Amino acid sequence: MIIKKGTMVGLEGRVLRKQSGGLFLTSLRRIIFRLVEGHQANQKLTSQGAMFGLFRTLKKQSGGLFLVRRQNVDSQETHGSRKTKRGAMFGLDARIALAIFGALSVISGAALYSAIQQASVIRHVTQLEELNKAYDAYRLDTGQDLELFLTNPSQLNIGEFKSSTVAGWQGPYLSLDYLISGANNYFLVNNEQRYYFNIWKDNDWGWDATTPVSPTNCDAVSTCILYISLQNISTTVVEAIDEYVDGSVSPQTGKIRRWGSDTVYYKVNRLM
């Protein structure tokens, strides 16, 4: 009778351990999926916040399940073999640990990618603003705007930032590489990104997949606006810059205008 009772208790303990462990892992997976989905919906989540959020959620939602599992293990230590029970505990704990580390890897990896992209966006926007400041300094020193470059009807001669014979000039105002290609002139950064200065009429224009609207060249009677363009960046970064500056992706309105898949134009509210 005692042997049968001990056998029954051991069997029940193993069944409860298996069920509670499986329930715990199932709950953990659901928590992980919710956290990952929540991160994908909010790209601004940082890796540190994601990890703290994971631990807080695990503590809150799995605390009860862990206590049930612990009680079952204690009962088994009274009625069964300690060696077998410790091995089972180690196996379950190892699976839980692997699940947690897997979740942290997914969340922290996605958060790291988001942080890198955000840093790239801020770097590009800062560079656009520095170019605008260089133009402000040129205008203050010389008392005039830049002239058009050669025969280009919209592009300004930004070589004046590097060297000039204009009275009052106190540059150079930029240390970027300056290049000329036909009727175009631009600053080159990292042997890839190009920055141009353009003037166009002050109206809505931009590129999207359905209704692209081209900018309009200035004339003697129109109000014109300065745009500083950044070319040769990814479409993802183009859209991220638009959202960062304007609060939404709006290629034809706001301070950021988009043309093609790799170019943004930074609208400077300055009449020309």
Does the structure show a pLDDT above 70 at 9?
A: no
Q: Residues of the chain with pLDDT > 90: what percent?
A: 47
What local confidence, expressed as pLDDT, does residue 117 receive? Answer: 83
* Annotated domain spans of the chain: 2-118, 144-271
Kindly report, residue by residue over 123-172, the tens digit of the pLDDT: 999 999 999 999 999 999 999 999 999 999 999 999 999 999 999 999 99
Cβ neighbors of 37 (< 8 A, separation 6 or more) are: none
Q: How confident is the model at residue 107 (pLDDT cuts 50, 70, 90)?
A: low
How far apart are the C-alpha atoms of 165 and 145, rounded to whole Å?
14
What local confidence, expressed as pLDDT, does residue 104 receive? Answer: 60
What local confidence, expressed as pLDDT, does residue 94 receive? Answer: 64
What local confidence, expressed as pLDDT, does residue 132 receive? Answer: 94
DSSP states along the chain: -HHHHHHHHHHHHHHHHHHHHHHHHHHHHHHHHHHHHHHHH-TT--HHHHHHHHHHHHHHHHHHHHHHHHHHHHHHHHHS-HHHHHHHHHHHHHHHHHHHHHHHHHHHHHHHHHHHHHHHHHHHHHHHHHHHHHHHHHHHHHSSPPPB-TT-SSBB-GGGGT---STT-------SEEEEETTEEEEEETTTEEEEEEEEESS--B--SS--B------TTS-EEEEEEEES--HHHHHHHHHHHHSS--TTSSSEEE-SSSEEEEEEEEE-
Does the structure show a pLDDT above 70 at 93?
A: no
What local confidence, expressed as pLDDT, does residue 62 receive? Answer: 47
Region 88-112 average pLDDT: 62
Comparing 91-105, 121-135, 184-198, which segment has the lowest mean pLDDT?
Answer: 91-105
Tell me the average pLDDT of the chain.
76
Q: Residues of the chain with pLDDT > 70: what percent?
A: 57
| Cα angle 79, 80, 86; round to 5 | 125
Does the structure show a pLDDT above 50 at 67?
A: no
Residue type, 45: L
Region 236-265 average pLDDT: 93
Q: How confident is the model at residue 58 (pLDDT cuts 50, 70, 90)?
A: very low
Does the structure show a pLDDT above 60 at 44?
A: no
Does the structure show a pLDDT above 60 at 59?
A: no
> What's the number of CA atoms in the CB half-sphere (13 Å) around residue 237?
21
What local confidence, expressed as pLDDT, does residue 99 receive? Answer: 64
| 8 A C-beta contact, residue 256 and residue 267 | yes
Q: What is the value of pTM for the model shown?
A: 0.62
How far apart are the C-alpha atoms of 37 and 244, rounded to whole Å?
22
Does the structure show a pLDDT above 60 at 259?
A: yes
Q: How confident is the model at residue 51 (pLDDT cuts 50, 70, 90)?
A: very low
How far apart are the C-alpha atoms of 156 and 159, rounded to whole Å?
9
Q: How would you classify residue 57: left for phi > 0, otherwise alpha for psi between -120 and 50, otherwise beta?
A: alpha
How far apart are the C-alpha atoms of 104 and 95, rounded to whole Å?
14
- Nearest CA-CA partner of 14 in 63, 110, 79, 111: 79
- Nearest CA-CA partner of 57 in 1, 104, 4, 15: 104
How far apart are the C-alpha atoms of 79 and 77, rounded to whole Å?
6
Q: How confident is the model at residue 242 (pLDDT cuts 50, 70, 90)?
A: very high
Kindly report, residue by residue over 14-39, the tens digit of the pLDDT: 544 555 555 555 655 565 556 445 54
Kindly report, residue by residue over 193-241, the tens digit of the pLDDT: 999 999 999 999 998 778 899 999 998 888 899 999 999 999 999 999 9
